[in-house]
Every structure is written in structure tokens, then in C-alpha cells.
């Protein structure tokens, strides 16, 4: 498995996902501004990975600090604010920043600056290790749920699964959230073929998920985002599973733009649709999906395809990066603690 992100000798290492799969470009930086830029430009991306990157970016900032202990609080506050402003939707970023702030709040008074920094470094590594472990737990819960829900089909044949965007190692550090479930399901002989929706405009499905599946030798086929309903009509999809960037208290889930259209089609065809996401993706402070901040990205991402202009530069464009799938369309939310089905308000609250 590739190392999508790591932190060694005060240096952040990551694979620049913008160039995949055609180029494997590894970057090493000690500059926290460069790391923030990597989050903004999607060189590093995917909700759990954004959280890990945020924690390490805070460490890069801290390591660049050369003032006195008295000067540190205001430096730290503006550093965290800068990191938090990089991308708005994936709550894992804010969750990771909050964990770093907690270590600061609890230790600043008592510790020397060196001891404080060492504790924060430990916290960042722990956030990373937790996300890796979360993937294994989610995969197990997800496969167990699929075995229950799709037992009838599994008596006679294997399953065809639809997924959207990239939720694998590149997005989560470990085996992945939705892709982790798919990987384990395939290892256990449940999967016939994975159908990866391309995920316009930045093609995380076509470029990144396909790349990860190819490396694992898992059978897959890529489709345009608009093909999924047609494949369902033809009986070519048995269920769908994706990740999430933020899940509200009632289970409404934000994920890569295009997800909601797949979910509506799956619901129409009476096929189960799952969200797989660690508890760090649940935002229990917001009651429903209308409160999830949705990132709007640069119009040129749509007007161009990898640098080639495909529409006039003045074409008006709406480029929302995420949409929100209402919880009634979701059969189950697979977390690292358990698979929540049924009453999401109660089920998700019980996890927190």
C-alpha cells in the first residue's frame, strides 16, 4: 500500500494526487504555508486525510515558531485559524484541529514549550494512527452489514458495487472507508465488479479509485457520472457505497458532488446505499444537512479539463464540490464503532 502522507524529521511527505495516475510525484516540505496550499489545491484530499494533513500542518507551523513562550498563544491561534480556513466541508479538518487545540489548552500553562511541542507531535501522530485503524474497523462492520442486507443475492452470485469519488488509501491513510469495505468484501469473495463513477470535475473516481483498484487487482469498470441510473435499470448494480465529508446529527451526509444523484437512483431501484465514514466525520453539532457548509470551487475546474480549455472563459459555471444526501436515502452509516441503521438521530448520538 502506498504512503499517501507521512511526517518524519519535522518534514511532511505526501503524494501529490493532482498528478495521479499518470505521474507519481512525491513532495517533501517543512513549510506550513505550502502544506496549506496542498490542502486547498487537492494535492492532498479526502476527508480523513485532510484531517491528518491539518494536524501535521499545525506541527509544521509550530516547528517554524522561534518566539518566546509568551508570544506563542497568538501565533498558535492564527496558525490554527489559517489551517481551518483551507477547506470548509470536511469536518475531519476541524476535528483534528480541535484535538491539537485541546493538547495545547491542557498543557500550555504547565509545560515548557519543548515539552508542549513534543506532546502536540504525539497527538498529530495519534490522529494519523487512529485514521488507519478506523479503516479496518469500518471495513469489518461494512462487510457484515452487506452480508445481512444482500444475503438473498449472495446465495446465487457475487455483487456489483457502485462507488463515487475516491475513498481509499489516498483519502483515508489506511485501506479506506467505502473502498476499505469494498476491498474486504472482495477479499471475502463477495464482489464481482466495482463500478467507479468518474466524479467530475476533478475525476477522483476515474483517476484515483481506478488506480487503487488496479494496483490491488480488483475487477472494476469506470463510468461517467450520468450512467449510474441506466446501469441500475439493466440490473448491473446491486448496491452503492461512498464516503462522506460531513454527516449531520440526523444522518444527512455531504460527499463529492454527484453522490446524491446516485443515491436517488439507488433508492428508486430499491437498492441499498451506504455511507462509510469514521466517527471523526460526524458533526453532531448540526441537526441536519442544510447546515453543512458546501465548498464552491473555482469555475475553471469545470471550464477546463486538466489545463485544456473546453468552454469559453466567460461561461457562467456553478462548481459546488459536494452535495448532501438526505438520510432517508441511506440504508446504513458504517462507522469505525458500528454500522448504524434505522434511527440515525439516536444511533449517531450514541456513538459520540
For ligand MRU, the binding residues (CB under 6 A) are 42, 45-48, 90, 165, 167, 171-172, 177, 204, 242-245, 255-256, 321
As measured in angstroms, the least distance from the Cβ of 200 to ligand MRU is: 12
| Closer residue to ligand MRU in complex, CB, 180/272 | 180
As measured in angstroms, the least distance from the Cβ of 30 to ligand MRU is: 24
| Closer residue to ligand MRU in complex, CB, 204/228 | 204
Distances (CA, A) of 16 to 26, 29, 42, 203, 344: 6, 12, 8, 14, 36
Burial class (CB in 10 A: 0-12, 13-18, 19+), 336: buried
| Closer residue to ligand MRU in complex, CB, 62/241 | 241
Is position 245 annotated as part of the catalytic site? yes
| Closer residue to ligand MRU in complex, CB, 172/249 | 172
As measured in angstroms, the least distance from the Cβ of 114 to ligand MRU is: 35
Catalytic residue among 245, 252, 283, 323: 245
Determine the Cα–Cα distance for residues 262 and 163; give it in Å rounded to an integer. 9
As measured in angstroms, the least distance from the Cβ of 175 to ligand MRU is: 11
As measured in angstroms, the least distance from the Cβ of 293 to ligand MRU is: 14
| Closer residue to ligand MRU in complex, CB, 160/204 | 204
SS3 letters for the chain?
CCCCEEEECCEEEEECHHHCCCCCCEEEECCHHHHHHHHHCCCCCCHHHHHHHHHHHHHHHHHCCCCCCCCHHHHHHHHHHHHHCCCCCCHHHHHHHHHHHHHHHHHCCCCCHHHHHHHHHHHHHHHHHHHHHHHHHHHHHHHHHHHHHCHHHHCCCCEEEEEECCCCHHHHCCCCCHHHHHHHHHHCCCEEEEEEECCCCCCHHHHHHHHHHHHHCCCEEEECHHHHHHHHHCCCCCEEEECCCEEECCCCEEEECCHHHHHHHHHHCCCCEEEECCHHHEECCCCCHHHCCCCECCCHHHHEECCEECCCCCCCCCCECEEEECHHHCCEEECCCCEECCCHHHHHHHHC
As measured in angstroms, the least distance from the Cβ of 255 to ligand MRU is: 5
| Closer residue to ligand MRU in complex, CB, 172/237 | 172
All three cell numbers of 341, joined, read 441503521
State which residue has the least CB distance to ligand MRU.
243
| Catalytic (active-site) positions | 245
Amino acid at each position: 500500500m502506498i504512503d499517501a502522507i507521512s511526517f518524519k524529521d519535522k518534514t511532511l511527505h505526501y503524494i501529490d494526487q493532482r498528478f495521479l495516475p499518470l505521474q507519481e510525484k512525491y513532495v517533501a516540505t517543512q513549510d506550513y504555508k505550502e502544506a496549506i496550499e496542498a490542502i486547498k489545491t487537492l494535492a492532498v484530499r479526502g476527508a480523513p486525510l485532510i484531517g491528518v494533513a491539518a494536524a501535521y500542518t499545525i506541527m509544521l507551523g509550530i516547528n517554524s515558531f522561534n518566539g518566546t513562550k509568551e508570544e506563542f498563544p497568538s501565533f498558535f491561534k492564527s496558525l490554527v485559524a489559517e489551517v481551518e480556513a483551507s477547506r470548509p466541508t470536511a469536518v475531519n479538518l476541524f476535528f483534528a484541529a480541535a484535538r491539537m487545540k485541546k493538547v495545547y489548552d491542557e498543557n500550555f500553562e504547565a509545560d515548557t514549550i519543548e515539552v508542549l511541542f513534543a506532546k502536540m507531535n504525539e497527538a498529530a501522530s495519534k490522529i494519523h494512527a487512529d485514521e488507519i485503524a478506523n479503516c479496518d474497523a469500518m471495513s469489518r462492520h461494512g462487510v457484515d452489514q452487506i452480508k445481512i442486507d444482500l444475503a438473498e443475492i449472495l446465495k446465487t452470485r457475487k455483487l456489483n458495487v457502485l462507488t463515487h469519488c475516491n475513498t481509499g488509501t489516498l483519502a483515508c491513510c489506511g485501506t479506506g472507508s467505502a473502498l476499505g469495505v469494498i476491498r474486504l468484501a472482495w477479499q471475502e469473495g463477495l464482489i464481482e465488479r466495482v463500478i467507479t463513477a468518474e466524479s467530475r470535475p476533478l475525476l477522483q473516481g476515474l483517476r484515483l479509485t481506478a488506480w487503487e483498484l488496479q494496483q490491488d487487482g480488483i475487477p472494476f469498470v469506470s463510468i461517467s457520472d450520468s450512467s449510474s441510473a441506466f446501469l441500475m435499470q439493466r440490473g448491473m448494480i446491486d448496491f452503492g457505497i461512498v464516503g462522506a465529508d460531513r454527516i449531520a446529527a440526523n444522518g444527512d451526509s455531504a460527499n463529492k458532488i454527484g453522490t446524491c444523484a446516485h443515491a436517488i437512483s439507488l433508492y428508486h431501484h430499491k437498492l441499498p446505499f451506504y455511507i462509510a465514514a469514521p466517527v471523526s466525520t460526524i458533526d453532531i453539532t448540526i441537526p441536519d444537512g442544510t447546515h453543512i457548509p458546501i465548498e464552491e470551487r473555482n469555475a475553471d475546474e469545470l471550464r477546463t479539463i486538466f489545463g485544456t480549455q473546453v468552454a469559453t472563459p466567460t461561461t457562467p459555471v456553478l462548481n459546488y464540490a459536494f452535495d448532501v444526501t438526505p438520510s432517508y436515502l441511506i440504508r446504513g452509516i458504517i462507522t469505525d464503532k458500528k454500522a448504524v441503521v434505522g434511527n440515525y438521530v439516536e444511533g449517531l448520538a450514541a456513538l459520540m
